[in-house]
Amino acid sequence: MEQVGESVDELREKLSKMKKLMEERKGSTLGELSARKRRETSDIIDGNFLSWIFGCALVVILSVSFYAFYNLYQAVLKKFHSHHTEL
């Protein structure tokens, strides 16, 4: 009788494990699996981090553009200086 009692307890435990596995596998479509995976994994590259990266890249591009146009302006002023010699 004890063997039957132990085996019933083991079977109940296995059944509960199988129920848990089936609950975890519920929603096994590809979209739901990828959504669950995205929620479970926390990557270092998220939206906020990408915003900072693109913001820094924009600042670098704007500053290099300003520097280039300023040097071009200075070169044009040096080449065509505006000293009025007619007076």
Q: What pLDDT band is residue 65 in, cutting at 50, 70 and 90?
A: very high
- Answer yes or no: is 87 within a domain: no
33 and 53 assigned to the same domain: no
50 and 63 assigned to the same domain: yes
Model confidence pLDDT, tens digit, residues 23-50: 777 766 666 667 666 666 666 778 888 9
Its domain, for residue 10, covers 1-41
80: DSSP letter: T
C-alpha span between 50 and 79 (Å, rounded): 43
C-alpha span between 46 and 5 (Å, rounded): 53
33 and 54 assigned to the same domain: no
47-56 CB contacts, 8 Å cutoff, 24+ apart: none
Q: How many domains does the chain have?
A: 2
4 and 28 assigned to the same domain: yes
25 and 54 assigned to the same domain: no
Tell me what pLDDT residue 30 has. Answer: 66
| Max avg pLDDT among 1-5, 40-44, 74-78 | 74-78
Tell me what pLDDT residue 87 has. Answer: 63
